[in-house]
Chains A and B, each alone.
Chain A
Amino acid sequence: MDLLLNAAVGWARGQFALTAGYHWIFVPLTLGLGVIMAIMETIYVRTGDEKWKKTAKFWQILFGINFAIGVATGIILEFQFGTNWSNYSLFVGDIFGAPLAIEGILAFFLEATFISIMFFGWNRVSKKMHLASTWLVTLGATLSAFWILVANAWMQYPVGMEFNPDTMRNEMVDFWAVAGSSIAMNKFFHTVTSSWGLGAAFVVGVSSWYLIKKRHQDFALRSIKIATIFGLISFILIAVSGDGSAYEVTQKQPMKLAAMEGLYEGKEGAGLVAIGLLNPKKEAYNDDINPYLFKIEIPKLLSLMGYRNINAFVPGIKDVIDGGYTLPDGTTALSFREKRERGLLAHKALADYQQAKSEGRDTDAANFEKVIKDNYSYFGYGFLEKEKDVIPNVPLTFYMFHFMVLVGGYFILFFAVVWYFHQKKKMENSKVLQYIGLWSILLAYLASQFGWVVAEVGRQPWTIQDVLPVQAAVSGVPAGNVMTTFILFAVLFTVLLVAEVTIMLKQIRKGPDF
């Protein structure tokens, strides 16, 4: 591939990763803290206890600071599909644009409208109306997450569409297949519950700091009570939806699953790596070097999670490339070479189709159209050259995945312990647990970020699975221009993050208004 194009793709990907990564620092807290403060306000409205009002109001201040920067980092993401991925926008905008537009109409306005009542309406609307506004802000944020995850899930598993060779784009034929795909539902469930978990970890962590400092202890314990129960439920749901994710990935993106597990050679009754260290000497997917320096496996679990059958065959990276194994539907998997051949056939037929159409040769055009249709499932492979082009970054995907899973397990234990200590009224005296609570905030943020790294790095090279790789999706903007905007955003977002964290810490130090 051309070096210039390579650089342009690299910077465009870098910019997307940078902006999405920054955006995702703030979104999960909005989703999680939103529910927690709404629960607190609900208790206030039901009991009339002013302490709960003040508790809810304190968390609302932190919510507001976080929300503003979440909005700031979010706008660029939507427009970036056009600015940096124009081929992608043209090729699938017919399908991909709809969830983004619906997100704007149904979710963003709900959020933006009721957040003004939530912030400024304490004395201007009734108690119940204010409570409804707080819940509607959270609902708006959650709906927005739903539609953007529908869009993302569609890239991972394109459904409900047909390619139209006249317009040279994919067109939607089934809205509900797009909006209701199993992978979209699972993504939504997993992402939202994980955000709840992060919100809970945040509240417990900040409250722990007050306990360490012996300030506002009553407030801190009250917050911990709500956040711990909420956190425990969330993390159990995260485990359930995480299992669902593993199943979906196995079915729809076997290469991603193989990378997540560092599995090169497929096998029946495959185990799940609990802890492992990859061998950095492993260079080619088909060399004989053992991919692991060390690993502890839970036997059969990967087959069970991926196929709901302890003896099922799980293909490794080598199998996905070389093909020849039996797929769940009974057919035999094609090799990369075979897929590429068919992708190229589709490409050639498409060029020929356009030519035939422009010359009015309709019978020829119909024949070419059939070739396109028959080979379209492998369209994207026509843009790739070598076997290694379809392998994502294995170490990154592997380590991020395992870190995320371990942290998820840790949090179930953590919230259970905190809940126990809180019930026994020992939380205020356990310095160790308070410090663990404080530092666990960091773990929650890392796990949340790493989850997205697994989802997005693990699907490389595809913007749309099997249909469009990154190098065919990018805009014609030269690499130097994108590098400039990358640097601008990197500097600006970092500066804003520093300001946000400092303001947040200042507010926390100031404490609730009791």
Chain B
Amino acid sequence: MITYEFLQNYWWFIISLLGGLLVFLLFVQGGQSMIHSISKTEDEKKLVINALGRKWEYTFTTLVTFGGAFFASFPLFYATSFGGAYWVWMLLLFSFVVQAVSYEFQSKPGNVFGPKTYRAFLFFNGIIGTFILGVAVATFFTGSEFTINKVNLVNFGAAGSVMSGWDNPLHGLEALGNLRNWCLGLAVLFLARTMASLFFVNRLDHKVLHERSRKYTLYNGVPFVVFFLAFLIWTLVSDGYAVNPDTREVFMEPYKYLHNFIQMPVVLVIFLVGVVAVLWGISGTVLNKSFNKGIWFTGIGTVLAVTMLLLVAGYNNTAYYPSYTNLQSSLTVQNSSSSEFTLTAMSIVSLLVPFVLAYIVYAWRALEGKKLKLEDLKDDGHAY
């Protein structure tokens, strides 16, 4: 029986899955953050940029779809977070705006500002896009400052008629004042760089870059593990935002997220499988010189681990977007979702997703039948 509650949970799962896929696809950004370090010569840079340039649209499109799906299924989150933590999201968007033109423009004659500018744009997106997204997701566990009062709409007060008001004048930048948010931000940044290194190991037919990418897997893998564990342990031992299932009241519960893992053993197991796969991909690539498939282990592991982490933020009577200035304004899967009708309509549309995935796989395979080398760039007709 498909109940409203089922649909709400289904959509939280879809959002979590899109979040997981998005973090995996951030390997493009991770690669961009290394174009000045992993590739030294112009030829190396060209190869790296072209390898990433054939994938950037997937990440971009996933981000846009993530936004659209979040809007449609949890509009109260969309209104509260985007309209409140204004600078966090604007910074993120700004970095993706400059990315979108950079691949196409950087090597084209007449691009006015020279390739260095566009590569700087790619670098900026590589650092900011990953770090800020990590910080934003961390606030799902650490909380934000907002108050929701829907009657404001018709009680035109001092704040106009704004229904979801942000309580901090920094409008989102205050999230940088929390060290735990930094931990996840840096973890995502280094994870993206690690995955990019693994991607290069897998995709490039270039001896020097190949060797260097293995080294970079280690250099980035270590800080990733450190920052990720710091965030994870810190979160597991902290108080979490729990919801009383009967009264819907939000309250602070010690070890809430640890309890969530224990009370949802399936989530815990998949999370651990994900983490092991991530580490397997990294360590295999570092230790075994002939192992080239690390990106698939780490990539799929990332999707699993991030998806489960987001489920922990929203399932099991937890407020996924908490407010610490006004606890009862915190957003839960139940109080922020769309109506049953909309969720049903959207669920029908979501049945087409496997079809979408199928043609993505087809296209990926059609283009990636063999590894990418410099000589291919001319033959393929469209080089960056």
Contacts of B161 in A (CB 8 A): 87, 383, 471-472
Fill in one digit per residue for B369-383: 1 if any A CB lies within 8 Å of its CB, else 0.
Answer: 100000000011110
Contact residue among B57, B83, B93, B353 (Cβ-Cβ distance under 8 Å from A475): B83
Is A351 interfacial (CB-CB < 8 Å)? Answer: yes
The stretch that binds B, out of A75-83, A196-204, A311-319, A441-449, is A75-83
* B265: A residues at CB distance < 8 A: none
Structural contact, B367 and A121, CB atoms closer than 8 A: yes
Closest to B71 in A: A97
Q: Is the interface of A mostly helix, strand, loop or mixed?
A: helix
Given A68-B101, A172-B345, A101–B171 Cβ distance below 8 Å?
A: no
Interface centre among A8, A68, A120 (most CB of B within 10 A): A120
The answer, yes or no, to whether B61 is at the interface (CB within 8 Å) is yes
Cβ of A496 under 8 Å from chain B: yes
Among B64, B101, B162, the residue within 8 A (CB) of A108 is B64
Q: Which residues of A contact B120 (CB under 8 A)?
A: none
The residue that A106 contacts in the complex, of B80, B352, B363, with Cβ under 8 A, is B352
Interface size on B, residues (CB 8 A): 81
- Contact partner of A104 (CB less than 8 A), chosen from B64, B112, B369, is B64
**Cross-chain contact of A89 among B71, B100, B159 (Cβ < 8 A):** B71
Cβ B108 vs Cβ A496 within 8 A: no
Q: Are B369 and A124 in contact (CB under 8 A)?
A: yes
B341 touches A172 (CB 8 A): yes
Verify B339–A499 contact, CB threshold 8 A. no
Within 8 A of B (CB), among A63-109: 64-65, 67-69, 71-73, 75-76, 78-79, 81-91, 93-98, 100-106, 108-109
Q: List residues of A (322-377) whose CB comes within 8 Å of B's CBs.
A: 347-348, 350-351, 354
B226 interfacial by beta-carbon distance below 8 Å: no
Report the bound CA distance from A95 to B342 in whole Å. Answer: 7
Q: Choose, from A110-118, A302-310, A406-414, the stretch at the interface.
A: A110-118
Contact B382 A503 (CB under 8 A): no
- Bound-complex Cα distance A88 to B82 (A): 12
Partner of A94, one of B90, B151, B338, B379: B338
> Considering the chains assembled together, what is the distance between the CA atoms of A138 and B333 in angstroms?
37
Complex-state Cα separation, A472 to B161, whole angstroms: 6
Assuming the A-B contacts A87-B161, A347-B154, A351-B151, are A171 and B341 also in contact, with contact meaning beta carbons closer than 8 angstroms in the complex? yes
- In the complex, the answer to whether A90 meets B359 with C-beta atoms within 8 Å is no
Q: Is B271 located at the chain interface by the 8 A CB criterion?
A: no
Q: Footprint of B on A, CB under 8 Å?
A: 2, 5, 8, 57, 61, 64-65, 67-69, 71-73, 75-76, 78-79, 81-91, 93-98, 100-106, 108-117, 119-125, 129, 164, 167-169, 171-173, 175, 347-348, 350-351, 354, 382-383, 471-472, 474-478, 481, 485, 488, 492, 495-496, 498-500, 502-503, 505-507, 510
Known A-B contacts: A79-B89, A351-B154. Give 13 more (CB < 8 A): A71-B100, A75-B97, A83-B89, A86-B163, A93-B72, A106-B356, A110-B359, A114-B359, A116-B54, A172-B342, A350-B151, A382-B154, A495-B113
Q: List 17 A-B contacts (CB under 8 A).
A: A72-B98, A75-B96, A85-B83, A89-B71, A90-B163, A109-B61, A113-B359, A121-B366, A121-B380, A124-B380, A169-B75, A347-B154, A477-B83, A478-B169, A485-B90, A499-B112, A500-B105
